[in-house]
Amino acid sequence: MNPEKIAAIVMLVSVMLSAGLEINVEHLLAALKNYGLLARALLANFIIIPIFGVVLARAFHLDQYIAIGLVLMALAPGVPFLVRAAGRTPGGSLGFAAALAFVMPALSIVTIPLTARFIFAAGLIAPADVAGHIPFGRIAVTLIAFQLVPLLVGLLIANRVPKLAAKLRRPLLLLFFLAVVALLVILGPTLVKAVASVYGSRGLWAMVVLVLLSVGTGWILGGPSIQYRRTLSIATMLRNIGTCAVVATATFPKTLVAPTVLTYFIIQFLISIIFRVYFHRGAARATAA
């Protein structure tokens, strides 16, 4: 197993285990009863954003592997630290954030291989024969082993041994960022070349546009409640870097796919800070008023 794949797996397992530790079952069950809101969240993340990803990849005429990296991020919702990123801190709904942090990564185990198979087989972003070289079954098994199982283990620990869950959160978050740094170091030379390639191919602009469209989609579909709008905006904007890194390093090694995924992660992280600060200040003003 190559070093970048090991770093990607550590990244995914640590962040999914951490996500499970953040979820409260009571909050999760309460949020799941809001069927209309949940349906709109799934519509935004599993249908609308992947469509935007394909349209932008074609509209910007991106290089094949840069397009694959962009669309991979569009296909992978449910960033695991949603409870913190989209909960009460930016004035969002803690219960809704917890529900999305569990539901979207769990469902994406099925949706990512299926949607990717359709997109590649149709030749929408790459020649149709590329689909024949992608092990969709192995991708699904990988996601079950390294995404779903750690998520369920974290959820079990959080609700059976809450004190242990509280102690594990910080070390796991640190492990995640160490894995990100390790992947950046391993892919360093390729990443520098990739950023130049992505920028030269208008890839960076495609990423910025997709992130902003994701924010807008989440805001519109969040409904009349400002809390739900804030949460769904952030939840739709942040895509799952751990999942995409594992798929990219395992399926498209030594290409621009993994560096493109990392570049997207950096862009969405920077833009998310701006929106989270803006939402937090808006919530603080409303509370003061």
CATH number at residue 66: 1.20.1530.20
Give the count of domains, the chain: 1
What pLDDT, on the 0 to 100 scale, is given for residue 39?
93
Decide if pLDDT at 73 tops 90: yes
Q: Give the pTM.
A: 0.82
Q: What is the pLDDT of residues 94-136, one digit of tens each?
A: 778 878 888 888 888 888 888 988 888 888 887 766 655 667 7
Contacts of 95 (CB under 8 A, 6+ apart): 24, 27, 28, 30, 31
Per-residue confidence (pLDDT) for residue 152, from 0 to 100 = 85
Mean pLDDT of the chain: 83
pLDDT over 60 at 25, yes or no:
yes
Model pLDDT, residue 200:
61
Answer whether 186's CB lies under 8 Å from 3's CB: yes
What range does the domain containing 126 cover?
3-288
Residue-wise pLDDT for 218-258, tens only, equals: 999 998 989 889 889 999 999 988 788 888 888 888 888 88
Per-residue pLDDT at 110: 86
Least-confidence region, from 10-14, 29-33, 143-147, 243-247: 29-33
Predicted confidence band of residue 57 (pLDDT cuts 50, 70, 90): very high
